[in-house]
Amino acid sequence: MIRFYFHPTPNPAKVALFLEEAGLAYETIPVDTSKGEQHMPAFRSINPNGKVPAIVDTDGPAGRETRVFDSTAILIYLAEQTGKFLSSPEDRPELLSWLMFLASGLGPFSGQAVHFQHAAPEGLDYAVNRYRREAERHYQVLNDHLDGRSFIVGDSYTIADISAWGWLDRASRVLKGAEEPFGAYPNLKRLFEMVDARPAAARAREVGKDHAFKRINDEETKRALFPSNYPPTA
C-alpha cells in the first residue's frame, strides 16, 4: 500500500497520474500547503524538503516501509517497482535525460514564471522577463524534440510523458496573457492532449477532490508558501 502525500498542484499531479495509470492501491493524504502543513515535523520526516509530493511505500525494498520524495524520484521508483512506463533498456539514457530536463528545467522555470507573473509584487521586470523567456525556451526545446515523435522517449508512453503533463497543464498560467498558450508549440499541444485524453488523466484530476483545500491567499498562506519573504525564525 502506498500513502500519497498530495496537494492539487503540478508536481503531485504527475504522481497521481502514474498511480492511476498503474492501478496501484494508494491512500491519498492531503497536505494543505496553503496552511503550512508541509512544514510540520511529521511531514518533514517524510520529505525533509517540505514539499509535495511524497510517498510512503509500506511494502518497499526488502519488505520495509520506505519513503520517496520529489516527483521525479517517485516516478522512477514506482516505474522500476512495477516495471511500467519505463522505456526499453536501450532508451534508458534518453529517458533519464528527458526526466531531468523536465525536473530541473521545464518544471522549475514554469514555476518561477508563474510566481513572478502572478504572485510577486509588480515592477520586477527583469525577473518576469528571465523566467518567462526561460520557460518559453524550455517549451521550444521539447517542442522541437517532439517533431515527428508521438512520445518523448522511444515509441511508447513513459514516465517522461507523465512528468511533462503535470506542468504543461498550467501552460496558460506559465504563458500569462497568451491567447493560445500552445499556439507556438504544436507538438507540445499534441503531446499534452494525448496524455490528457487518457482515462487515467481524468481519474488523476479527481484525486483530492473530496478534501476542502484552503483557497484563500491570506497572510498564513503567504508565510507558508514564501517564507523567504519574512525574517528567519529563531
Rounded CA gap, 88 and 169, in Å?
Answer: 27
Task: Scan for cell 535525460, then name that residue.
Answer: 97
The least distance separating ligand GSH from the CB of residue 173, rounded to whole angstroms, comes to: 12
- Kindly state whether residue 208 participates in binding ligand GSH, applying the rule CB under 6 A: no
Instruction: CB nearer to ligand GSH: give 187 or 224.
Output: 224
- Kindly state whether residue 28 participates in binding ligand GSH, applying the rule CB under 6 A: no
**Max CA pair span of the chain:** 55
- Kindly state whether residue 163 participates in binding ligand GSH, applying the rule CB under 6 A: no
| Eight-class DSSP state of 62 | G
**Nine-digit cell string for 38:** 508541509
Residue 69: alpha-carbon gap to chain centroid: 12
Stretch near ligand GSH under the rule CB under 6 A, chosen from 68-76, 82-90, 112-120, 208-216: 68-76
Instruction: CB nearer to ligand GSH: give 20 or 187.
Output: 20
The least distance separating ligand GSH from the CB of residue 183, rounded to whole angstroms, comes to: 25
- Kindly state whether residue 33 participates in binding ligand GSH, applying the rule CB under 6 A: yes
Instruction: CB nearer to ligand GSH: give 11 or 158.
Output: 11
- Kindly state whether residue 53 participates in binding ligand GSH, applying the rule CB under 6 A: yes
Choose, by CB under 6 A, the member of 52, 56, 76, 191 that binds ligand GSH: 52
DSSP string, 131-200: HHHHHHHHHHHHHHHTTT-SSSSTTS--HHHHHHHHHHTTHHHHTTT-SSTTTT-HHHHHHHHHHHTSHH
Secondary structure of residue 35 in the 3-state scheme: helix
Q: Which of residues 77-136 bind ligand GSH (CB under 6 A)?
A: 103
- Kindly state whether residue 71 participates in binding ligand GSH, applying the rule CB under 6 A: yes
- Kindly state whether residue 70 participates in binding ligand GSH, applying the rule CB under 6 A: yes
Q: Which residues contact 130 (CB under 8 A, 6 or more apart)?
A: none
Which parts of this chain interact with ligand GSH (CB under 6 A)? Answer: 7, 9-11, 33, 38, 51-53, 70-72, 103, 225
